[in-house]
């Protein structure tokens, strides 16, 4: 699922769609009104976002209403944080090694 999320987020219009629905639901036509491309093109973007698990869709009569699916971002968040956590660990280990060297150097003097 993470590959689908990364692929979905790679397209700027899809990121713009996510910003539009992050604070509340919108119909597909309301979303399309923010763009200068066709409604079918927006529908394709929404389909990619839905398949990636980043938006949820519900039907109200003939309307399709889209909202953010925050759970869909959790795996992506954990993936990105793993790089940050590894970097912090390496920084901590480097700082401890430097401190150990300084301590040993002072003892030898």
Whether this model's pTM surpasses 0.85:
no
Give 105's pLDDT tier (boundaries 50, 70, 90): confident
SS3 35: coil
- What pLDDT shows up at residue 82? 79
66: exposed, middle or buried (Cβ count in 10 Å: 0-12, 13-18, 19+): buried
Q: Are strands 63-68 and 55-60 parallel, antiparallel or unpaired?
A: antiparallel
Residue tagged 């394709």 (tokens) = 44
* Residue recorded with tokens 């309307």: 63
CA 58 to chain centroid, in Å, comes to 22
């Amino acid at each position: 699922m993470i590959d689908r999320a990364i692929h979905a987020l790679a397209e700027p219009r899809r990121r713009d769609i996510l910003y539009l629905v992050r604070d509340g639901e919108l119909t597909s036509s309301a979303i399309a009104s923010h763009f200068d491309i066709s409604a079918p093109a927006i529908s394709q973007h929404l389909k990619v976002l839905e398949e990636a698990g980043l938006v949820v869709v519900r039907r109200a009569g003939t309307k399709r209403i889209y909202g953010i699916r925050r759970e869909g971002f959790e795996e992506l968040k954990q993936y990105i944080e793993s790089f940050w956590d590894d970097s912090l660990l390496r920084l901590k280990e480097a700082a401890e090694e430097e401190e150990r060297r300084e301590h040993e150097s002072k003892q030898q003097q």
